[in-house]
Structure 1
Amino acid sequence: MRWRVALRMARRDAWRHRRRTWIATAMVALPVVAGVFLATFLLSTLGTPLTRFVAQAGPTAQAVVRDVGCGGCTYHQTPDLRSGGTVGADDGGRDPSTRAVAETLGIPEQDVAPVRVESLAVGAGERDIGLTSVTFLEADAVAQVYTVREGRLPTTAREAALSPDVAQRLRVDVGDVVDLDGAQVTVVGLLDVRNLPDAAVVVPTAADAASAASPANPASGRGPSRWFVLGDRPVRWEDVVALNAIGTEVDSRSVALHPPNRAEVPFHTAFPGGGAGYVDRTTLGAGAAVAAIAVVEVVLLIGPAFAVGARRQVRQLALVGAAGGDRRDLRRIVLASGVVIGATAGVLGAAAGLGVAALVGLVLRVAGHPMPAFLVPWWVVPAAVALATVLAALASWFPSRTTARIDVAAALAGRRSEAAPRRRTPWIGVALAAGGTLVALVGGLRDHAVTLAGGVLVLELGVVLAAGGLLTLVARLAPRLGPAGRFALRDAVRQRSRTVPAVAAVLAAVAAATAASVYFVSDARVQAASWSSDVGVGTVLLRAPDVWVDGRPTQLADDAVALAVESGLARTADVLDVAGSATVHLLTVPDLPAEGWVGARSQARPERACPTEGYDGSEADFAELVEAAAGDPRCAGVSYGMSWYRPGAGDSVVDDGTSTALLGFGEEGAAAAAALAQGSIVVSREDDVWDDGTAHVEISVAGPGLPDDTAPIVLVAPAHVQTWQPGAPPILPATLVEETPGLISVPVGAVAQVDADYDPAWADLVRGETSQASVSVQPPPRQPSDVVVLVLLGIASVVALGATWVSIGLAAAETRPDLATLAAVGATRRVGRAVSGAQAAVVAVLGVGVGVVLGLVLGVVLSISLLQQGWAAQQLRAAGLPVPGVEVPWLWLALVTLALPLLAVAGAWLTAPRRLPLVRRLAQ
């Protein structure tokens, strides 16, 4: 009954003061709008297991079966396909084929549609987009897998359907003719881009010719690597396990709808502790702590609106108290205001979030990039309404406790009355702030996310509790200020219920933006220090495009690489003069299949070797080795992707010094080139240089059809250390490779230098693709952008100014009798404006000052944890390079610290009333 009365009073008060209500509602609704929109957009983009399956297999197919390329081994997968692996060959295993898939499922072979995917040169008229993925599928299966948004699906090998992107690049439409490696086909449809199964170009084949040659399907000697399972029979989990036994991975419609229990998944038995999608307690705890911090920030930001409402309700609450209501009734009425506003904001915010998501979906559809499906996480809507209600109730909790202690007689008489503050509260806040800082630092240094987030949360709460004490401390300066300053400080101390929430809101906004700015700038500095590339800035890379047949890489001939280099050099020379070029070679072995792998690893000198080096594969020693390697700096390897690739080759460059000299690394590159010319091995770590000054490189060869017990080849030669790419594979001298039996090198592309410093203008003209080659230019590392820092501080400034002006608006109404008295004794209008400006200065200066200090502390703590312990810092340590310290954007922080209070004061000065009418004033 009491709550019903309180809610009715809150509803009437909200309607009576609609402007204040709408401001508070908007502040609460904003995070709800953002949350509902993000949840809806992410679910619509990422999809459910069923929508993800449909995007991979089409509207009616039962499953997609893929050959994992392990020669009929046993493969284990998770139902969501996020994890998988092989555990060795199965004695009864068979190589995947159309017949094997049909027999394993017990269905007719015509219900299994093989798919071929090849890279063919695609062009139309004078336009040539180079090698493009072309999918060949049985004509009867095309209609069951793909859909079109314009035209129709192809039915013969002389017809094709294109993706909108390919059609746009070729500038063709339905009815035009395109060239597929010399075969002319007619475009009869544009594919719906929501279908994702290799839908660049789709060409039908005869039912018995999916693996045979055709005018647009040249024979490659390879069978299909993917099959669509059609028909009405569902592919259940037991079928998936059976197909895994012949070396295939399966994406099933039935499994997406009815996933198995964890105990039924062999993957978890074969790989204990593996698999994605399982979150440990540490991650959950860290997420919960971060969510709690976000809730505190939101509560602090919307708190001033409820503080204003509570101050407006003082007389109404005093009447309730005079009629017999106790403090619990008064608290209940103020809390009811928060509940009403929160529930309203939740409903409106959820509706607005869904509307924005629908609008974004419509825009994406019109732009030709629709989401796979518009999916609404309906459980999020009531959760968002409940969250908004809880946030509003939390924001109104402090005003409710403060207002419940009002002096009823003073309030009814029109005198302002504020409950005496508790002296222990600021000291509790100081203790919490100090303890939270210590806990957060410990969590950051130990890389413990839960401890870090918990410490940050306690730190923020402590500073908020100490805000009242800071206000009292600052008020001691009042006797040394002028009339306006004395008036503003003493009024702020007397009216804590409106001043403290405003200071806390400004403090929270500025602290969050400052911490984020420090973290962003520090992250940019660490990323810049760890930036590495295969070639120097402005170097032109000429590469033959990757050729894939049926989902597998295909070996390139040396003359094809030479043609690619020639074509790329011609494209570059059309823009700038080429100062020099050289062919790049990779290490390989004779007659290595395309699926083979050649690895070249520098062996660290014995005392600097990681404990895992030399692991013989025995499971008995694996756990001990992992434990020994954990935290060992020698095991923090550096992994950088290489720019060069060729099927059947490794990732180590073989050079006589000519291409290394043109990598664009100045004197260091020239020194490395000279070392290679003299037969030295170029390594990337000092740990790889042995005591006698040599480098030991282990060459391993592996792949399907190759024996597992092949002994590695160890190359030993004088060592030369390069530092432009820490952790990169060694560069081997050409003379050493030529002298070693069983090793050769093959060309993969070239590097070239032009007679110009790097400039995006000419780089954009040079980079691109020809029919034979791809040309790229190495750009400089991305520099930290001041725009992000400016946006963060700008948002904080808007929030801080809003909280300040809301507080000043209430203060102006409450101090009008005082200003009227001043006017009666001869004060000018300038005095009234000075008082308004001084009141704004109290809130802005205190909030911004403490917020910047708190933000610096938070930024340092977060940077130490997330950056100093992060991946980039680990790579720098592994390479023996120093890790940059915390970077603070002092210029921007100084600008905000000075400009924000000035803007707050200027706004209050300009909006102060020009006239101060006399009002009836009661003695206080």
Structure 2
Amino acid sequence: MSVFTGWRAALRIARRDAMRAKGRSALVVAMIALPVLGVTAADVTYRSATQTETEKLTAEMGAADALFKDPGSGPMEQSVNGDNYGSLSDTPPSEDAPALDLRTAFPQGARGISIQSVPASVTTGYGITDTDIFEFRVSDPLARGKIDLVDGTFPHGPGEIAATESFLKSSGLHVGSRTTLRGPEQKYTITGAVEQPDDLEVKALYAVPGAVIAPWKATAAHDKKVLPPNAGETTWLVKASGAQGVSWPEVMAANKKGALVVSRQVVLDPPPDSEVPLTRRLGSNTMSSGSTELSAALVTVVAMAVLEIVLLAGPAFAVGARRSRRQLGLVGTCGGDRRHVRAVVLSGGLVLGGVGAVVGVAAGLLLTVVFRPMIEDQAGQRFGSLSLHPKELLAVAAIGLVTGLLAAFAPAVVASRQSVLESLTGRRGVRRSSRVLPVVGSCALAVGVAVAVYGGVSGRSTLVAGGSVVAELGLLACIPVIVGLLGRLGRRLPLSPRMALRDAARNRGRTAPAVAAIMAAVAGSVAVATFMSSKMAESDYEYTPMLGEKSVVLYTTDEKSVERLPLARAAVEQNMAATGRPADVSRVWAGSDCNVYYEDEDSCGSMELVKPTGKGHTCPLNTKGAKELAARLTAEEHRSMMHSPACLDERYTMGTFGSGGSNIVVGDAALLKTYVKLDDPAAAAALAAGTPVLLNRAYAKDGEVTLKSVHRYSEKDKKNRARHPGPARRTTGRMKVYVADAKYAETPGIRMIMPERSAQRIGLHTALYGSVYSVSRPPTDAEEQRTSAAIEQAGGGVYVQAAAGSRDREDIMMLVLTLFAGVVTLGAAAITTGLAKADAEADLTTLSAVGAPLRVRRSLSGFQCLVVALTGVLLGTGAGLVPAVALRLIDLRNALREMRMSPMESAYTPIVVPWETIGLLAVVVPLLAGALAALLTRSRLTLARRAG
């Protein structure tokens, strides 16, 4: 018999055996198909979400050939893609020079549509909100791809407007609703819902040219309001007259007129560097982005997927081989040798692996298509197209096929070693567990952990990935011994749990791979969850708050608005979750109270707290020997020093209550209790006695602070200028203060609270700024809009600012990771339970024969599932912490290097274990798996005839 004839017979036997045992075959196909499905869906999603250059240009300029901008630099030279440019003139254009009419720079015969935007306040279904309004003819075909219609119609008249879906969702409006532009009080009807495909979360309104900006500017000029910078700047989408688009010579011609151009034709088919003047002058600045970490992550993911398939499908092949041992024995009686028996079992892996690979790829494509809108909403952008790469999909299918063969390899070797007599009689040979494998596994575990840690310390992500895989394989080799020890734990337990533990220990070949598969899935989820939790903690540390947590502040911009503060307070108390009474805050300043953004800074007064020098006052990280000091510090020591009062102001000084950099406010004991959360009778008594309370003790020396003020009055401040004629008056004096505990130095926006009579005593000016509330939770969009509407109805001029809320997206990602690991754990435990039932049917029949209650079948299945799930989760948690810690060591190494180059850079790199996620996986999921297994198991006895 030739080789091919033998394999044809083996494949035929394997196919018939698979059809005969449909349940077991479906189980194996599912185990191979599920990871293939996941990898296929991830590949298609990643390729589709990664925008090509053409898709990026479409998102930027729609269906136009080019985008024209005026950077205000006059004649220029630009790079090919427009991300860099340089002026050809040594003197920049005057601010009084008229703006460039970009239409004069268009190629001959081209047409274009303009885009202008302004920030504005509009009414909503809840109240009032601020948003951006674009004058952009979105109904024009040139806008397709940049703005797409989702519902309704595009706006065509001056009283019509379109809104993004995100704006409609947050505002409580819908297509057909009316909104009013505050200021001109002009009403618009929302005719359609649109979306910006590359950013689905943007909140904006779109109107036809001339419908919004002209009345908005007229109202601002009438009310003498200063327009924000760049308000009303114009960008043009241009369509060339020819089919070739805007060429590079036409781009350079537009540059000479002062226009910056992004041309689709030029970006997709760039000219040589010799034809780009800016490149010839400055050189090419192309930077290659390294993909080492991405490659290492992909290798790790693929390796874990293959390992999981082998671990889960392997026991199924082993059970199948045992249940077909009589058939395999007949192969031996007919003249077949060991290689033919191996071929039959391997052919089963080939058949089922091929079916699983095909089913997995097809299901992955189908699910990606079905859930595409949900994936796009989660990603925050639309796919340009569903991108399919046949070579990658074939590689994924090949991995499924190969892993099917690998899963059948060990059972094939075991089946081929059995004698014909054992196969025909159904007896199982007794084999002792290997004593070498656990030793090798322990060594591999230790080596893998060491390699991963070394990779983290040395900054090599490939070593982290490789060491993590080796450590997991080492732990895998130790699992049979761990499972064997489970049998000793059940000596004093009731019947069902005792039998479940002993069955798991006795059938290690079935239990250990399933435990390892759960371990692999949980390890990946725990690793990612730990890394993300640590990154979030690092981000929280580096975040600079503008306002204290769970605080809402009402603030005014002029003296007239102060009169409306009582009505504004009522609006906050009615619409937000305010707790207790508010605390009033007043501003304090010296000389003229000028806004240095619009006024001449030299004509305004100023004041500042002078920080003493010396230990405890000067930040060591901002001195001459800071680099040498940073080189000796650990990350924790650096973090502690950065949080010291002396260094806090080096990180940030401004906040909601900032006043010329001094961060001094006027307040009383209510401000201490409501905002600072300083419940200290001594501090309250000090304020009542006229003594300021200093929150940052680095500014105090011997219980006093030095306040330096310059009383300078501008020409506009005629009242105070007449009272204080002559040159600027400089004052430097010392004040006795009450010094708060060091932890209060981190209070956002406030450095010192001064009683009003103290400010007046030293010649400073004060004015009521607003009120501060403590809230039980951050306000919602609807609550903020209702509050703003009530304030505007009362006359306006008072604004509401709330502290930032929680990060919902990160919480969702953590939930998804937990659900993924939980589903895999439930699936692997269910598979193991099913295999145990199929493999131990004779034992269950014996139990019934000796009088065991029928419910024993249910309870035994439940405890078998619980044992496998709980063991896998606990081992997976330990295995998952290895790569997470190693990757954080890489981050720590990079942070320390940056800290030693720039001592004020943070080196804080925490490792935060997500105990909630681990708790769900270690407690809830195993209990749920056991309960489901018990409920879904039939307790009724099925009679079976005796074999032989």
Q: TM-score, with normalisation over the residues of structure 2?
A: 0.69
State whether residues 662 and 753 of structure 1, in contact with CA within 8 Å, keep that contact through their aligned partners in structure 2: no
* C-alpha distance in structure 2 between counterparts of 1:88 and 1:134, whole Å: 31
Q: Is the aligned partner of 1:505 residue 2:502?
A: no
Aligned counterpart, 2:597 = 592
* Structure 1 residues 183-207: Cα deviation after superposition (integer angstroms, max 9, x where no partner): 6465484253246798833333479
State whether residues 139 and 205 of structure 1, in contact with CA within 8 Å, keep that contact through their aligned partners in structure 2: no
| Letter matched to residue 234 of structure 1 | G
| Letter matched to residue 343 of structure 1 | G
* C-alpha deviation, 1:723, in angstroms: 3.2
1:483-502 to 2 correspondences below 5 Å: 496-502=508-514
* C-alpha deviation, 1:463, in angstroms: 1.7
Aligned counterpart, 1:579 = 582
* C-alpha deviation, 1:802, in angstroms: 0.7
* C-alpha distance in structure 2 between counterparts of 1:174 and 1:121, whole Å: 19
Aligned residue for 2:132, secondary structure, equals: strand
State whether residues 655 and 748 of structure 2, in contact with CA within 8 Å, keep that contact through their aligned partners in structure 1: no
Identity of aligned residues (%): 21
Given the superposition, is the C-alpha separation of residues 907 and 204 from structure 1 closer, same or farther in structure 2, using an over 3 Å criterion? Answer: closer
| Between 784-793 and 185-194, the greater mean CA deviation after superposition | 784-793
State whether residues 611 and 629 of structure 1, in contact with CA within 8 Å, keep that contact through their aligned partners in structure 2: no
Aligned counterpart, 1:547 = none
Aligned counterpart, 1:848 = 870
State whether residues 74 and 87 of structure 1, in contact with CA within 8 Å, keep that contact through their aligned partners in structure 2: yes
Q: Is the aligned partner of 1:439 residue 2:430?
A: no
State whether residues 726 and 879 of structure 1, in contact with CA within 8 Å, keep that contact through their aligned partners in structure 2: no
Given the superposition, is the C-alpha separation of residues 218 and 758 from structure 1 closer, same or farther in structure 2, using an over 3 Å criterion? Answer: same
Query: Which of 837, 844, 851 lines up with 1:828 in the alignment?
Result: 851
State whether residues 153 and 161 of structure 1, in contact with CA within 8 Å, keep that contact through their aligned partners in structure 2: yes
Aligned counterpart, 1:201 = 205
* C-alpha distance in structure 1 between counterparts of 2:612 and 2:266, whole Å: 47
Q: Is the aligned partner of 1:414 residue 2:442?
A: no
1:121-132 to 2 correspondences below 5 Å: 121-123=121-123, 129-132=128-131
* C-alpha distance in structure 2 between counterparts of 1:791 and 1:100, whole Å: 56
State whether residues 582 and 674 of structure 2, in contact with CA within 8 Å, keep that contact through their aligned partners in structure 1: no
* C-alpha deviation, 1:855, in angstroms: 1.9
Aligned residue for 2:245, secondary structure, equals: coil
1:149-188 to 2 correspondences below 5 Å: 153-154=154-155, 157=158, 159-163=160-164, 169=171, 171=173, 173=175, 178-179=180-181, 181-182=183-184, 184=186, 187=189
Aligned residue for 2:467, secondary structure, equals: helix
* C-alpha distance in structure 1 between counterparts of 2:7 and 2:613, whole Å: 76
Aligned counterpart, 1:619 = none
Query: Which of 376, 383, 399 lines up with 2:387 in the alignment?
Result: 376
Query: Which of 299, 319, 339 lines up with 1:308 in the alignment?
Result: 319
Aligned counterpart, 1:13 = 17
Q: Is the aligned partner of 1:769 residue 2:791?
A: no
* C-alpha deviation, 1:117, in angstroms: 1.3
State whether residues 123 and 129 of structure 2, in contact with CA within 8 Å, keep that contact through their aligned partners in structure 1: yes
| Between 150-159 and 471-480, the greater mean CA deviation after superposition | 471-480
Q: Is the aligned partner of 1:812 residue 2:840?
A: yes
Query: Which of 222, 229, 233 lines up with 2:237 in the alignment?
Result: 229
Given the superposition, is the C-alpha separation of residues 216 and 697 from structure 1 closer, same or farther in structure 2, using an over 3 Å criterion? Answer: closer
Given the superposition, is the C-alpha separation of residues 485 and 10 from structure 1 closer, same or farther in structure 2, using an over 3 Å criterion? Answer: same
| Between 302-311 and 164-173, the greater mean CA deviation after superposition | 164-173
1:1-400 to 2 correspondences below 5 Å: 1=4, 6-41=10-45, 47-63=51-67, 65=69, 67=71, 79=81, 91=90, 99=100, 107-108=107-108, 111=111, 113-123=113-123, 129-137=128-136, 144=143, 148=149, 153-154=154-155, 157=158, 159-163=160-164, 169=171, 171=173, 173=175, 178-179=180-181, 181-182=183-184, 184=186, 187=189, 189-194=191-196, 200-205=204-209, 224-232=232-240, 234-235=245-246, 252-254=263-265, 257-258=268-269, 278-323=289-334, 327-361=338-372, 371=382, 373-379=384-390, 381-400=393-412
* Structure 1 residues 720-763: Cα deviation after superposition (integer angstroms, max 9, x where no partner): 77535759677478899x99xxxx99999744236xx6267999
* C-alpha deviation, 1:805, in angstroms: 0.9
State whether residues 696 and 745 of structure 2, in contact with CA within 8 Å, keep that contact through their aligned partners in structure 1: no
State whether residues 43 and 376 of structure 1, in contact with CA within 8 Å, keep that contact through their aligned partners in structure 2: yes
* C-alpha distance in structure 1 between counterparts of 2:610 and 2:925, whole Å: 52
* Structure 1 residues 655-676: Cα deviation after superposition (integer angstroms, max 9, x where no partner): 2355963662222799999799
State whether residues 63 and 143 of structure 2, in contact with CA within 8 Å, keep that contact through their aligned partners in structure 1: yes
Aligned residue for 1:664, secondary structure, equals: helix
1:526-675 to 2 correspondences below 5 Å: 533-542=545-554, 558=558, 568-574=568-574, 578-583=581-586, 591-593=596-598, 633=638, 644=656, 653-657=663-667, 661=672, 664-667=675-678
| Between 417-426 and 479-488, the greater mean CA deviation after superposition | 479-488
CA RMSD of aligned residues (A): 6.4
* C-alpha deviation, 1:32, in angstroms: 3.5
| Between 130-139 and 15-24, the greater mean CA deviation after superposition | 130-139
* C-alpha deviation, 1:230, in angstroms: 0.8
Given the superposition, is the C-alpha separation of residues 759 and 595 from structure 1 closer, same or farther in structure 2, using an over 3 Å criterion? Answer: same
Given the superposition, is the C-alpha separation of residues 579 and 491 from structure 1 closer, same or farther in structure 2, using an over 3 Å criterion? Answer: closer
Given the superposition, is the C-alpha separation of residues 174 and 485 from structure 1 closer, same or farther in structure 2, using an over 3 Å criterion? Answer: closer
Count of aligned residue pairs for this structure pair = 861
State whether residues 502 and 843 of structure 1, in contact with CA within 8 Å, keep that contact through their aligned partners in structure 2: no
Given the superposition, is the C-alpha separation of residues 531 and 564 from structure 1 closer, same or farther in structure 2, using an over 3 Å criterion? Answer: farther
Q: TM-score, with normalisation over the residues of structure 1?
A: 0.71
Given the superposition, is the C-alpha separation of residues 75 and 682 from structure 1 closer, same or farther in structure 2, using an over 3 Å criterion? Answer: farther
Aligned residue for 2:371, secondary structure, equals: helix
* C-alpha distance in structure 1 between counterparts of 2:884 and 2:76, whole Å: 45
Given the superposition, is the C-alpha separation of residues 540 and 280 from structure 1 closer, same or farther in structure 2, using an over 3 Å criterion? Answer: same
Given the superposition, is the C-alpha separation of residues 919 and 35 from structure 1 closer, same or farther in structure 2, using an over 3 Å criterion? Answer: same
* C-alpha deviation, 1:798, in angstroms: 1.6
* C-alpha distance in structure 2 between counterparts of 1:442 and 1:101, whole Å: 58
* C-alpha deviation, 1:495, in angstroms: 5.3
Q: Any unmatched runs of 5+ in structure 2?
A: 711-729
* C-alpha distance in structure 1 between counterparts of 2:230 and 2:530, whole Å: 55
Given the superposition, is the C-alpha separation of residues 284 and 749 from structure 1 closer, same or farther in structure 2, using an over 3 Å criterion? Answer: farther
Q: Is the aligned partner of 1:862 residue 2:884?
A: yes
State whether residues 585 and 768 of structure 2, in contact with CA within 8 Å, keep that contact through their aligned partners in structure 1: no
| Letter matched to residue 229 of structure 1 | L
* C-alpha distance in structure 2 between counterparts of 1:490 and 1:680, whole Å: 70
State whether residues 330 and 403 of structure 1, in contact with CA within 8 Å, keep that contact through their aligned partners in structure 2: yes
Aligned counterpart, 1:430 = 442
* C-alpha distance in structure 2 between counterparts of 1:362 and 1:573, whole Å: 40
Aligned counterpart, 1:550 = none
* Structure 1 residues 551-581: Cα deviation after superposition (integer angstroms, max 9, x where no partner): xxxxxx6469758967643411445674333
Q: Is the aligned partner of 1:795 residue 2:829?
A: no
* C-alpha deviation, 1:888, in angstroms: 4.9
Given the superposition, is the C-alpha separation of residues 272 and 119 from structure 1 closer, same or farther in structure 2, using an over 3 Å criterion? Answer: same
* C-alpha distance in structure 1 between counterparts of 2:564 and 2:446, whole Å: 64
* C-alpha distance in structure 1 between counterparts of 2:754 and 2:339, whole Å: 87
* C-alpha distance in structure 2 between counterparts of 1:759 and 1:90, whole Å: 55
| Letter matched to residue 552 of structure 2 | V
State whether residues 502 and 804 of structure 1, in contact with CA within 8 Å, keep that contact through their aligned partners in structure 2: yes
Aligned residue for 2:239, secondary structure, equals: coil
* C-alpha distance in structure 2 between counterparts of 1:589 and 1:347, whole Å: 72
State whether residues 352 and 404 of structure 2, in contact with CA within 8 Å, keep that contact through their aligned partners in structure 1: yes
